[in-house]
Amino acid sequence: QSDTKDYSLPNASWSPDMVGLYNELLEKTTAGSWRRLPSYLYSGQFLKKEDLAGIAKAAPAAEDTRLFLRVAEKEGHGFEYAIFHNPLEKKCICLFQPGPHLEGLPGIIHGGALGTMIDSTFFITAYRSADAIFTGTMTIVFKSPVILGSVVRLEARVTGTEGRKVFLSCEAQNSDRTVLFAEASG
């Protein structure tokens, strides 16, 4: 598992809308408070070494694994996304372009695929901002359907902590933030 390619960089499948939002956020990273997070083919490549050791003991290594977000073989078919983190604000913004293999009802994203992107954004936000690594409870309220190929802008933030528990909220909107696709808490 030595593929160290960063899969969260723009590629030919990204729509102009997706690239535009990506460039806007990238510009914010030069100011210092935001960071672009790379993403890989294998789970755990982003984990700190001490975490990884603990988890590897708990679960036997499986062969030929792949991070679920990278399940689609071809560029553009599955989860195209990039996550930006603001540690001071304990917040992440995820740009997500669902490909045609994430279909639920005809032409529309599967609720589970949107849930997967929300869950991943929650995880990264909690891991980067509060050192938490497991999702306990997640509630998603689906508001309006996401058309495949369109851009989803997810914004997740830490809303509180209670011992080892971290509370989070997330909004999924369209690119100009005029349509709310879903709200989630965890």
Q: Footprint of a copy of itself on this chain (CB under 8 A)?
A: 42-44, 47, 52, 55-56, 58-73, 77-78, 100-113, 115-120, 123, 133-142, 145, 147-149
Is 69 or 166 the residue whose CB approaches a copy of itself more closely?
Answer: 69
Q: How far is the CB of 82 from a copy of itself (least distance, A)?
A: 17
Residue 116, strand partner residues: none
Q: Catalytic one among 51, 119, 131, 176?
A: 119
Helix/strand/coil for 186: coil
Q: How far is the CB of 43 from a copy of itself (least distance, A)?
A: 4
Is 50 or 63 the residue whose CB approaches a copy of itself more closely?
Answer: 63
Is 36 or 77 the residue whose CB approaches a copy of itself more closely?
Answer: 77
Cβ partners under 8 Å of residue 64, min gap 6: none
Are 134 and 141 contacting, i.e. CB atoms less than 8 angstroms apart?
no
Using CB atoms within 10 Å of the CB of residue 134, give its burial: 0 to 12 exposed, 13 to 18 middle, 19+ buried: exposed
Is 9 or 53 the residue whose CB approaches a copy of itself more closely?
Answer: 53
119 as an active site residue: the answer is yes
Q: How far is the CB of 3 from a copy of itself (least distance, A)?
A: 14
Between CA 131 and CA 174 the distance in angstroms is 29
Are 140 and 128 contacting, i.e. CB atoms less than 8 angstroms apart?
no
Helix/strand/coil for 2: coil
Phi, psi of 35 (to 5 degrees): -130, 140
Between CA 158 and CA 143 the distance in angstroms is 22
CB atoms within 10 A of CB 40: 19
Is 34 or 118 the residue whose CB approaches a copy of itself more closely?
Answer: 118
Q: How far is the CB of 7 from a copy of itself (least distance, A)?
A: 14
Q: How far is the CB of 146 from a copy of itself (least distance, A)?
A: 10
User: Mind telling me the catalytic residues?
Assistant: 119
